Amino acid sequence: MLNELKKLKDQAIKEIQKSKALDQLRGLEVKYLGRKGELTKLLRRVKDLTIEEKPKFGQLANEVKQELSRLFLDFKDRLEPSTPGSSGAGEYLDLTLPGRRYLQGHLHPHTLIQYQLEEIFSNMGFLVLEGPELESEYYNFESLNVPPAHPARDIQDTFFIKDKANQVLRTQTSNQQVRVMEKYGAPLRAVFPGRVFRNEATDSSHETTFYQWEGLMIDKDISIAHLISTMKTMLKGIFKQEVAVRLRPGYFPFVEPGFEVDVSCVICQGKGCTVCKKSGWVEMIGSGLVHPSVLRAGGLNPEKYSGFAFGMGLTRLAMMKYGIDDIRLFLSGDLRFLNQF
């Protein structure tokens, strides 16, 4: 009987595949799977089998029934018109062909990471402000408590403009601090993304042109605790996980106190790797409470207001986030790089 069942299956498949019209297919379905069909007939004879044979036969009969049902459904679909309004059968569609290719553009990684940060800070009510890239020495240095003889002016290798005394390519987005205080007063919370320039030789981790992200918040009684909390919120937003931070003293003339914020290395989860120089920490953010003389330069009364400021390398952050090992790629204009974002 097992053989009969197999024969029945083969015969049915052959006939289904040959069918040309829906009516014909329906007839076959009745012939094989109908109440008085071939399969049912065969099944009725199951009582003649031995106890050992019964389960084996039952299983196979079930399989045959399922396979034939599937085949009927499949052929019914093929024989039915596939387009509304047409009567003929549809063509075979190779569903494994790739989908239609849309022209796909790409935003620069700097832009993408800025959008992320902007969202985090907009949610906290920070303004996003940009300022001039060609800046006066006043806003780039003096207003930030960096007088002409200050060593910081040597350290930050500045590009000067020929025949334009007093104009420099800004070395830091901090140039915005006093500008923004002048324009908006206090209370104030704002972030400044932007391009900055350093006159230094380039290599895989140094560029003449890179992006920074700076933030400033001024209100009554702004404290170190507020700064830490804001930094943690920012980092969690960027890395989508709680990131351990540690603060240690750092010197920037426009803050007092000033500190470096180290971030637990996200590459090695703080275990120590080449990115963090085996320390488990990556130096990422310079920050502090706004120096009273900077507040005064911005026309604010340091007796009444205090604030925090922080700045970090946006390019560096993008390198960390995307695992980019050569900073020169950012401004290369190379589509092989840019099309990855």
Q: List the interface residues with another protein, window 278-337 (CB under 8 A).
A: 289, 291-292, 299, 306, 330-336
| Rounded Cα–Cα distance for residues 312 and 214 (Å) | 6
Site size for another protein (CB under 8 A):
87
Residues 152-181 that bind another protein (CB under 8 A): 154-155, 159-164, 166-167, 169
Check residue 272 for interaction with another protein (CB under 8 A): no
Residues 111-140 that bind another protein (CB under 8 A): 111, 115, 118, 125-136, 138-139
User: In terms of CB distance, is 68 or 186 closer to another protein?
Assistant: 186
Distances (CA, A) of 37 to 8, 30, 107, 300: 11, 6, 64, 95
- Chain position carrying tokens 């399969």: 39
| Rounded Cα–Cα distance for residues 167 and 174 (Å) | 16
Check residue 186 for interaction with another protein (CB under 8 A): no
Check residue 187 for interaction with another protein (CB under 8 A): yes
Contact status, residue 317 vs residue 238, Cβ threshold 8 Å: yes
Check residue 95 for interaction with another protein (CB under 8 A): no
Contact status, residue 337 vs residue 319, Cβ threshold 8 Å: no
* CA neighbor of 172 nearest in space, from 199, 132, 212, 202: 212
Min separation Cβ 215 and another protein, Å: 12
Give the up-direction half-sphere exposure of residue 240: CA atoms within 13 A in the CB hemisphere.
2
Check residue 88 for interaction with another protein (CB under 8 A): no
Min separation Cβ 237 and another protein, Å: 14
Check residue 225 for interaction with another protein (CB under 8 A): yes
Cα Dmax for the chain: 110
Site string for another protein, 232-251 (x = CB under 8 A): xx------------xxxxxx
Residues 13-42 that bind another protein (CB under 8 A): none
* Residue of the chain from 11, 62, 82, 223 that contacts another protein (CB under 8 A): 223
User: In terms of CB distance, is 25 or 235 closer to another protein?
Assistant: 235
DSSP letters spanning 192-255: EEEEEE--S--BTTB-SEEEEEEEEEEETT--HHHHHHHHHHHHHHHHSS---EEEEE---TTE
Min separation Cβ 85 and another protein, Å: 20
Task: Using CA atoms of 13, 18, 24, 29 in order, give the dihedral in degrees to the nearest 10.
Answer: 10
| Rounded Cα–Cα distance for residues 22 and 89 (Å) | 10
User: In terms of CB distance, is 46 or 107 closer to another protein?
Assistant: 107
Check residue 256 for interaction with another protein (CB under 8 A): yes
User: In terms of CB distance, is 24 or 116 closer to another protein?
Assistant: 116
Residues 190-209 that bind another protein (CB under 8 A): 190, 195, 197, 199, 201, 208-209
Neighbours of 231 (CB within 10 A): 22
